[in-house]
A and B are shown apart, each in its own frame.
Chain A
Amino acid sequence: MIRSHVLICGGTGCTSSGSPALKTALEKELAAKGLTEEIKIVMTGCFGLCALGPVMIVYPDGTFYSMVTPEDIPEIVEEHLLKGRPVERLEYHEQAAEDHHVVNSLSETMFYKKQKRVALRNCGVINPEDINEYIATDGYQALAKALTEMTPDEVIQTVLDSGLRGRGGGGFPTGLKWKFACANRGQVKKYVACNADEGDPGAFMDRSILEGDPHAVIEAMALAAYAIGADEGYVYVRAEYPIAIHRLQIAIDQAKEMGLLGENIFGTGFNFDLKIRFGAGAFVCGEETALMTSIEGNRGEPRPRPPFPAVKGLFGQPTILNNVETYANIPQIILNGAKWFADMGTEKSKGTKVFALGGKITNTGLVEVPMGTTLREIIEEIGGGIPNGKKFKAAQTGGPSGGCIPAHLIDTPIDYDNLLAIGSMMGSGGLIVMDEDTCMVDIARFFLEFTVDESCGKCTPCRVGTRRLLEILNKIIEGKGEMEDLDRMEELCNYIKSASLCGLGQTAPNPVISTLRYFKDEYIAHIVDKTCPAGVCKSLLKFTIDADKCIGCGLCAKNCPADAIARTTYIAPGHKLASFAIDSSKCVKCGACLDSCKKIKAISKK
């Protein structure tokens, strides 16, 4: 008899912070206390609250423990699992709440209260390595319903009516994509593909869905195959996601064993086979034509469209490609109907969106909210605000293709069209929060370095244009910029945007354009005043010693690799030794002096 379930997060975040050790310790302790038959450990997918990892939940009471260490396990077993008294010191404390009250169940927390989980509904709830747990939460019901009660056209119409738009970046209506590929069912070989090559640095929702609910993606791909008349599918997943790949493979094997993949599914004569292909770390492979070229085994270079993949895609055959999060919504739409989905969200952006919250925010992790939720709700309420009392400066969405949303637009309801209107984009849903210590010029350079590195080199505007743009940015960051550079950048941005072959190049200038739009004063500070207001850009920093604070210990001079610090003749009132000073012509701005003066704090950088 199992009387209690202990759910431990086995997502990548919690695995990195030590959840496998937790599981081992718990297994050992349960065995020692003779509880193995009564208490079941379930390794789940991502709960979302990665910042507090490793996390675990004890059911039936639903007690939520965060930042648990193996040393805490004996106490949890002894007190909670044996005596029924939750260990209060390990329970999650709501940081945003004024009284710091203990939160007993997950759904009570500010972090979860405002969320609406559709794509993530099973993440952190079921064991992703057991198909029975997926089936127990209505898994494969949608596929059964479609195959036995719906025609392929009805499936497409339902997806169309739901208003679902692609979650990978572009926001193209999913149903429309399917409709384009549905001609000549049964007469032409067709493919269904899944883009799990999450390249946006700072987005990890697709990985979390594959890790936490792989069957949802498999079921959705089978639905898509039924809708367009395909019998073969590929999941293109980043090789850097070992846990996701492992669980997806287990899921595919289990589905095949149960006859939910393979031949004659549900006895309806519908066949669908699914294979995994590993991406090898090329951002451009997120672009659909590049991804297909890569599955074909070549350099993942995009090609001009038309012909669109719906006509001529993988191996020259009609193909539809959707991203992981898009697929994860599909079974729910088929089961609950188009209206159920269309009732969520805004007029033109239906449903929910998963965001990967990262950067300078308290609750780093994965959140899913209805479209139209404001940035303020996500950052301040769900995200728990900015740590260390710092001020919110901007949020970056859309990764290297997106832009920055400044503080004065924090009340913008987030959906595809609003983000585009303010110069950013949804992208795959990375949401990086930045505070006053982040330099926006430096961030623009960070993303541009990324695109320069990832440009496939096929078309000139992207290959050469982004590099020239980066050179101008570097010039500004090194303090050699001129005001004319700003106009040059703007002109170059427009050329790259309009002349590049694929989405990578067309969106590459966005980080520059949006920071120029909202943070021009920072560029001007770098160019005219030769300072970096956030104190990030090294060449523009100046280290100084406050002579009246300096006690003359000489630690800074000892640590200086450039011999730029020497003793002066000035002895501050009340001090015994003469103070030190930095020769800025010799200074290499390494910051070693600053680190060595942590106690006295006589050295400052500006």
Chain B
Amino acid sequence: MKKSLTTVTFCGTPEQEAKLVEIIAGYKDVPGSMMPIMQEAQSIYGYLPIEVMQIIARETGAPLEEIYGIATFYAQFKLNPNGKYAIAVCLGTACYVKGAGALVDKISQELNLPVDSTTPDGKYSLEATRCIGACGLAPVMTVNGDVYGRLVPEQIPGILAKYKD
């Protein structure tokens, strides 16, 4: 999985850091706890920038490169923050066979936004996801968790128009 570091400035708060430190302390004696720690860190910050990985490294004593290695290995760990409106198009087989590829192209074109990136103003992010399991509604996209199914590319501008503000 190819991932690149974010260009968005880190703006974590001391409260977030305190919460993370507390969580890590709770995992002190649990074997194999690095992934759960990173998953909780991501749920605190919304993504895993290098600054957060440094906190984890400091608190657990694990080398930063090991943490970075895990973060880049798994698709779930995001090095880039989500946009205000996080758009995800399912590219599972069932959706792909029913034309999800054309949906991605259309959204990309409408927002002038390559797949797996965030607009510079932080408003939209576009992600091509693995099967989300709503194969009965294929092809499917979600915007901040709202599910849109049985889509054709012509519907995309109308859906995006709902997420303007």
Contacts and interface: CB of A to CB of B under 8 A. Distances in A.
Given A315-B31, A359-B97, A278 B39 contact: yes
B130 A281 contact: yes
Interface residues of B, number: 39
B130 A201 contact: yes
A446 B32 CA distance: 34
Interface string B121-143: 00000000111111111101000
Interface in A256-292: 277-282
Nearest to A50: B136
A123 interface: no
A432 B93 contact: yes
A282 B69 CA distance: 13
Interface residues of A, number: 52
Interface stretch (A11-19, A34-42, A162-170): A11-19
Nearest to A17: B137
B81 interface: no
B93 A201 contact: yes
Contact of A359 (B39, B69, B94, B154): B94
A589 B93 CA distance: 24
Nearest to A430: B93
A295 B32 contact: yes
Nearest to A53: B136
A183 to B, nearest CB: 23
Interface string A231-255: 0000000011100000000000000
Contact of A282 (B32, B75, B136): B75
A168 to B, nearest CB: 16
A298 interface: yes
B136 A299 contact: no
Contact of A278 (B1, B34, B35, B153): B35
A456 B36 CA distance: 20
A240 B76 CA distance: 8
Interface in B63-81: 69-70, 73-77
Contact of A280 (B39, B94, B98, B132): B39
Interface string A7-41: 00000110011000000000000000000000000
B54 to A, nearest CB: 18
A192 to B, nearest CB: 16
B73 A456 contact: yes
Contacts of A282: 1, 73-75
A201 B98 CA distance: 14
Contacts of A430: 93
A454 B1 CA distance: 6
B60 to A, nearest CB: 10
A298 B77 CA distance: 13
A453 interface: yes
A294 B38 CA distance: 13
A595 B94 contact: no
Interface in A297-341: 297-300, 315
Contacts of B149: 16-17
B26 to A, nearest CB: 15
Contacts, number: 134
B35 A294 contact: yes
A358 B138 contact: yes
Given A297-B35, A432-B93, A434-B97, A12 B74 contact: no
A17 B130 contact: no
A358 B70 contact: no
Interface in A341-365: 356, 358-360, 364-365
A62 interface: no
A445 B92 CA distance: 13
B94 A299 contact: no
A244 B74 CA distance: 20
B133 A13 contact: yes
B73 A202 contact: no
Given A202-B131, A239-B39, A359-B93, A298 B1 contact: no
A204 interface: yes
Contacts of A50: 134-137
Nearest to A242: B145
Given A204-B131, A432-B93, A453-B1, A300 B73 contact: yes
A204 B93 CA distance: 12
A53 B149 CA distance: 11
Contacts of A202: 92-94, 131, 135
Contacts of B136: 13, 17, 49-53, 364-365
Nearest to A438: B97
B104 interface: no
Interface string B75-96: 1110000000000000111101
B96 A446 contact: yes
Contacts of A177: none
A299 B69 contact: yes
B147 interface: yes
Given A16-B137, A201-B92, A239 B130 contact: no
A399 interface: yes
A199 interface: yes
A207 interface: yes
Contacts of B77: 280
Contacts of B16: none
B33 interface: yes
A356 B133 CA distance: 10
A283 to B, nearest CB: 8
A296 interface: yes
Contacts of B129: 240
A16 B140 CA distance: 10
Given A358-B138, A399-B93, A204 B130 contact: no
Given A207-B133, A299-B69, 13 more contacts: A13-B137, A17-B147, A51-B136, A52-B136, A202-B135, A240-B129, A277-B35, A282-B74, A282-B75, A296-B32, A365-B136, A399-B93, A595-B153
Interface of A: 12-13, 16-17, 49-53, 199-204, 207, 239-241, 277-282, 294-300, 315, 356, 358-360, 364-365, 396, 399, 430, 432, 434, 438, 443, 446-447, 453-454, 456, 595
9 contacts: A16-B134, A201-B92, A201-B94, A239-B39, A278-B36, A279-B74, A297-B32, A299-B69, A300-B73
Q: Which are the 4 A-B pairs with shortest beta-carbon distances? A: A50-B136, A358-B94, A281-B75, A280-B74
